[in-house]
Amino acid sequence: MASSLLSRTLLGHRLIRFSSSLPHNPLIFSNLFNKREFCVQAGSYHTTYKASGQPSRLMASAAIEIRSNFSTQSLSTNDPVVSVDWLHANLREPDLKVLDASWYMPDEQRNPIQEYQQVAHIPGALFFDVDGISDRTTKLPHMLPSEEGFAAAVSALGIHNKDGLVVYDGKGIFSAARVWWMFRIFGHDRVWVLDGGLPRWRASGYDVESSASSDAILKASAASEAIEKVYQGQTAGPLTFQTKFQPHLVWTLDQVRRNIEEKTHQHIDARSKPRFDGAAPEPRKGIRSGHVPGSKCIPFPQMLDASQTLLPADELKKRFNEEGISLERPFLTSCGTGVTACILALGLHRLGKTDVPVYDGSWTEWGAESDTPVDTSS
């Protein structure tokens, strides 16, 4: 974590030095998509690119109509996703904040903060560090932080309770669902996942920024520093975000253990079938293979179509019915480390199941314990 924070701080300093060399007068650019000019002050310089050869997917009249009806206070939370067209039309609204919550599996060898800083992100998006904004008292990866830690981190990002939030990631729908779930756990329901994420945004020909402003880098670093201070018992700074913990949306190992006998909830595992069956090794060392007794497997990609957007409700229902899962009974979801389990929760939310708990420790916790029962299908 120290090296991660250092790299962010150093890059922030480089950006500050770079911006100081720019002209003091605002730089004027032409936004080719909406044919209007915008200015960039020297202190927050960034470069904007637009995918070439892509026609507009949203006529001006439609954009005006969507924007005129905008309000995150009135936008329905019944559906957990918004389209890239909707976000493009409302991107500049003052009560909307966009979060890049990209995170990747260790074997993918991708650096999300580096891609945010140097490759591409949606204009104005803040970086939400899934690994950084997490519990500092456990060795398990990116576990849910304390209420105080979460409030301090998102306040450092400049997020307020009044804000509507759209979360996206670099794969389509992946880690963004985890951050959607985190905000809901802490009582913030005005949060949506961008359907199809950054890949669909770019495929639609919408602008991206290829470098981050010094302000955005400093906020990302400040968020990590703030949560670190909380866990060290220090004061993190003024809070702009107040939490209201929703304990029914997160389960512990003991709750999952009891559910094996009590069977109050249908346990759905989002990992791949080979990992669930115990036929494939776990990606992390020291973790047994297999699954929690009584659980069923629906790999998270089954919630998505080929373009990595969330399936319509009728298709989602088919996926659950095919695995013998009743939509009339409660659910519990898990995965490897509590990330893709949230994609199952996202799909169930579209079906009106808004109170689905996620087992935060998931298989990385369960499979590492010596006294937890494990089933295999081999």
Q: Which residues pair with 193 in a beta bridge?
A: 81, 167
pLDDT tier at 241, thresholds 50, 70, 90:
very high
Note the Cα 213 to chain centre separation in Å.
21
pLDDT band at residue 71 using 50, 70 and 90 as cut-offs: low
For the stretch 121-168, pLDDT in tens is 999 999 999 999 999 999 999 999 999 999 999 999 999 999 999 999
3: pLDDT strictly greater than 60: no
Query: What does the angle CA 251 – CA 105 – CA 301 come to, to the nearest 5 degrees?
Result: 70
Q: What is the pLDDT of residues 302-330, one digit of tens each?
A: 999 999 999 999 999 999 999 999 999 99
Residues 202 and 276 in one domain: no
pLDDT band, residue 64 (cuts 50/70/90): very low
Q: Catalytic one among 39, 297, 335, 342?
A: 335
Burial class (CB in 10 A: 0-12, 13-18, 19+), 61: exposed
Number of structural domains in the chain: 2
**Owning domain of residue 255:** 250-368
CA 28 vs CA 44, 186, 208: distances in Å: 13, 40, 17
pLDDT at 75: 82
Is residue 259 a part of any domain in this protein? Answer: yes
The reported pLDDT for the residue numbered 73 is 63
Residue 254 has pLDDT above 50, yes or no: yes
Q: What's the whole-number average pLDDT of the chain?
A: 84
Angle, alpha carbons 213-157-99 (nearest 5°) = 75
Task: Kindly state whether residue 171 falls inside one of the protein's structural domains.
Answer: yes
H or E element, residue 132: none
7 pLDDT band, cuts 50/70/90, is very low
Non-local (6+) Cβ contacts of 43 within 8 A are: 19, 214, 215
pLDDT at 267: 98
- Write down the pTM of the prediction: 0.82
β-strand partners of 331 = 266
Cβ neighbours of residue 5 closer than 8 Å, sequence gap 6 or more: 132, 221, 224, 225
Please indicate whether residue 335 is annotated as part of the active site.
Answer: yes
Residues 117 and 224 in one domain: yes
In terms of average pLDDT, the best of 38-47, 214-223, 264-273 is 264-273
Share of the chain above pLDDT 90, in %: 75
Who has greater pLDDT, 50 or 107? 107
The pLDDT of residue 175 is above 70 = yes
Instruction: Assess whether 221 and 270 both reside in one domain.
Output: no
Nearest to 276 by CA among 255, 298, 257: 298
With residue 215 as reference, give the H or E element that holds it. Answer: helix 214-231
Q: What angle do CA 330, 333, 337 make, to 5 degrees?
A: 160
Is the same domain home to 114 and 217?
yes
In a domain, 6, yes or no: no
- For 63-126, give the secondary structure using H, E and C: HHHHHHCCCCCCCCCCCCEECHHHHHHHCCCCCEEEEECCCCCHHHCCCHHHHHHHCCECCCCE
Count the neighbouring beta carbons within 10 Å of the beta carbon of residue 208.
18
Q: What is the pLDDT of residue 4?
A: 41
Per residue in 350-368, pLDDT (tens digit) is 999 999 999 999 999 999 9
Same-domain pairing of 87 and 226: yes
Q: Does one domain contain both 281 and 329? A: yes
Position 39 scores a pLDDT of: 32
In a domain, 43, yes or no: no
107 and 159: one domain?
yes
How far is it, in rounded angstroms, from Cα 56 to Cα 52?
11
Maximum Cα–Cα distance across the chain:
68
**DSSP state for residue 135 in the 8-state scheme:** -
What gap in Å lies between CA 236 and CA 224, rounded to an integer?
Answer: 10
Termini Cα distance of the chain: 39
Of residues 117 and 13, more confidence is placed in 117
pLDDT mean over 234-253? 96
Distance CA 361, CA 257 (A): 13
Confidence of residue 74 (pLDDT cuts 50, 70, 90): low
pLDDT digits over 177-204, tens only?
999 999 999 999 999 999 999 999 999 9
